[in-house]
Amino acid sequence: MEWTGEALLIGVRRHGESSVIAEAMVAGRGRYLGLVRGGRSTRLAATLQAGNTVQLTWRARIEDHLGNFTVELLHARAAELIADPVRLYLSQLVCEHLRLLPERDPHDRLLGMALDLIDHPPDGAALAKFELAVLDELGFGLDLESCAATGVTSDLTHVSPRSGRAVSRAAAEPYREKLLKLPSFLVSRGNASPGDIRDAFRLSGYFLDRHVWGPRQMDVPPVRDMLLTKLMSKAE
């Protein structure tokens, strides 16, 4: 069996003395792993860096096998990312989130969002929306369309930590201390202040931990807090 496709490299780990297992998000195919023979060679080292876009050819005798990758570099981002710590942290976090997805299940919307994030100046608001999109595609999306208590669709200011549904300002008032803040930019086209971005990260982080990191017994990626600190220092 064989296919060829464009992909974003999201992880590489050693395998044996000279090879690596590469992990990539492939357009139309989702998260794929494959063996790259000789992947630890000097010739391939610069190509096999997370954040690079490559053309992959995957071959295997049986579809369920790991298979082998041959790799051609299309867009080398690694050097650019290393030169900019904020972009580097952002790229690392995006790749960590993409690695949460099931194997061989197409998620082209997330792949497109990931590439936009990596290729543009760091944007905390866009990253928060990406985290919520990851939750959505994993089956744990929040319902931010209407108030859980009253059904109104305007003046939504909070989210219930139990149901993941939005709550309007009036309905939230008696329970404000128990609810999560819903930054307005997540439900409208408004701009995001540094405080809004912090609240958005707190919101997405709470549900990622509840539904994904916690059940999988995973730690919160350390780079997430490092990135938020960098983003806030630039914004304030």
pLDDT score at 17: 87
pLDDT score at 78: 86
Query: Is a pLDDT exceeding 90 seen at residue 188?
Result: no
Residue position matching structure tokens 């060829």: 4
pLDDT score at 236: 60
Domains and CATH numbers, the chain: 2-76 (2.40.50.140), 123-235 (no CATH)
Residue 156 CA, distance from chain mean position:
25
Which two three-digit tokens encode residue 93? 């976090």
Average pLDDT over residues 133-151: 97
Query: Is a pLDDT exceeding 80 seen at residue 233?
Result: no
Note the pLDDT tens digit of each residue in 99-120: 999 999 999 999 999 999 999 9
Q: Say if CB 26 and CB 9 are below 8 A apart.
A: no
- In this structure, which amino acid lies at residue 191? N
Strand partners, 158: 167, 181
Q: How far is CA 59 from CA 54, 77, 105, in A?
A: 16, 26, 18
Angle at 129 between CA 177 and CA 8, to 5 degrees: 145
Note the pLDDT tens digit of each residue in 195-222: 999 999 999 999 999 999 999 999 999 9
pLDDT score at 112: 98
pLDDT score at 130: 98
